[in-house]
Amino acid sequence: MKTVDYIIVGQGVAGSCMALQLLKNNKSFVVIDDNAHKASAIAAGIYNPVVLKRFAIVWNATYQIQLLKKVFTSFEQLLNQKYLYEFPVFRIFNDENEKKTWLKKSDREDLKDFLSKDFTQLDQYNNIKQPLGTGEVEQTGRVDLTNLLPDFKDYLIENELCLDESFDYQTLQILEDKVIYKDIEAKKIIFAEGFHIKQNPWFNQLPIIGVKGEVLRVKTEANLPEAVVKAKEFLMPLGDKEYFVGATYDRDNVNYETTVAAKENLVNGLNQFLSDEIEVIDQKASIRPTVSDRRPIIGTHPKYKNLVCLNGMGTRGTMLAPVMVEELYNHLENGTNLDQESDISRFYTLLNEEL
């Protein structure tokens, strides 16, 4: 029997950040992950402190960005690869009202460090249609999760810290002070399965709402900035004239199939602001684990205190995972209180305590 402090189910951005936190703190653990429909692997990995629909600050943004940089720099040091890219996000204005709102908000204390007042920065790019100008969000960038996650999984497997297989919920034995899974005994088990939480018999009553997203990889010879450019859709450079285009939001057809309709929507959205030819070279779909009140869900099960939930990263897993992991770790190891906004106890009445 192998004895560890923790089992982690899921090696998306949430489970990976938790594994790194445990590594840093010399805790023993095993990750179990089957790579099935990992939302984090197809996400653009953009981090952006401003909600671009209404120019509002993201919850706890300054601290989230600070910790994100620290955590993903640690991954870079551990794996000896670059994953963190800092570049601006440009938002093309749709009408004069948006421009006025942006200007007004850029004077606010919480937004002034993030919203630039210079609307002319894309003027040199003749192929980008932006008759009303473009606002720049500062302190933004991207974490290349597409490469980081498989690299980290290889590292975990090499160090005998990961089982590349599906977790079988029926096999878990829950005892008073530990859990036993096959030949592994752990003090606690942390479930970080993203939208697959719906298969988890202890946590599937939580109000995780799947929002399907489709993305494209395109190629174009256009002269474009090293930045995210966003109108209805966004375009993000990947190198070698390739770009990431995203993303759709579909709450009605929650599955992993790519569709012609989504491809057309994305291409049409792109054509609204880009006058050059594009060639679509790939299309992918996955499901965002969002929550009814737009906050993550972390903490222990009301009845089984050694079952732990780390979920609900929604549309912003890159920024949220590092802070949620820090908070959850301190709660589990040092007994600190969870922030009420992310504390699972707000949904305890939904969890079937008789399981």
Ligand X SMILES: Cc1cc2nc3c(=O)[nH]c(=O)nc-3n(C[C@H](O)[C@H](O)[C@H](O)COP(=O)(O)OP(=O)(O)OC[C@H]3O[C@@H](n4cnc5c(N)ncnc54)[C@H](O)[C@@H]3O)c2cc1C
Residues that bind ligand X (CB under 6 A): 9-15, 32-36, 38-40, 42-46, 166-167, 192-194, 196, 213, 215, 246-247, 286, 288-289, 311, 313-319
User: How does DSSP classify residue 213?
Assistant: E
Task: Return the residue nearest ligand X (CB atom).
Answer: 12
Pairing of strands 179-181, 184-191: antiparallel
Torsion angle, alpha carbons of 318, 302, 8, 45, to 10: -10
Half-sphere exposure of 282 (CA within 13 A, CB side): 8
Nearer to ligand X, 66 or 126 (CB): 66
Give least dist CB 14 to ligand X, A. 3
Per the rule left: phi > 0, alpha: psi between -120 and 50, beta: everything else, 333 is alpha
Nearer to ligand X, 105 or 316 (CB): 316
Nearer to ligand X, 288 or 301 (CB): 288
Give least dist CB 335 to ligand X, A. 25
Nearer to ligand X, 21 or 318 (CB): 318
DSSP string spanning 234-252? EEEEEETTEEEEE---BSS
Three-state DSSP at 92 gives strand
Give least dist CB 120 to ligand X, A. 26
Three-state DSSP at 337 gives coil
Give least dist CB 36 to ligand X, A. 4
Give least dist CB 78 to ligand X, A. 18
Helix spans in the chain (H)? 13-24, 39-42, 61-79, 96-105, 145-158, 260-271, 317-334
Nearer to ligand X, 133 or 331 (CB): 331
Give least dist CB 101 to ligand X, A. 23
Burial environment of residue 155 by CB neighbours within 10 A (0 to 12, 13 to 18, 19 or more): middle
CB 227 within 8 A of CB 89: yes
Place of tokens 């305590």: 353
Give least dist CB 158 to ligand X, A. 18
Nearer to ligand X, 135 or 246 (CB): 246
Q: Which residues pair with 190 in a beta bridge?
A: 8, 308
Tokens in use for 82?
A: 């670059």
Nearer to ligand X, 40 or 300 (CB): 40
Nearer to ligand X, 10 or 135 (CB): 10
Nearer to ligand X, 4 or 103 (CB): 4
Torsion angle, alpha carbons of 186, 192, 197, 203, to 10: 50
Give least dist CB 46 to ligand X, A. 4
Pairing of strands 29-32, 162-163: parallel
Give least dist CB 140 to ligand X, A. 11
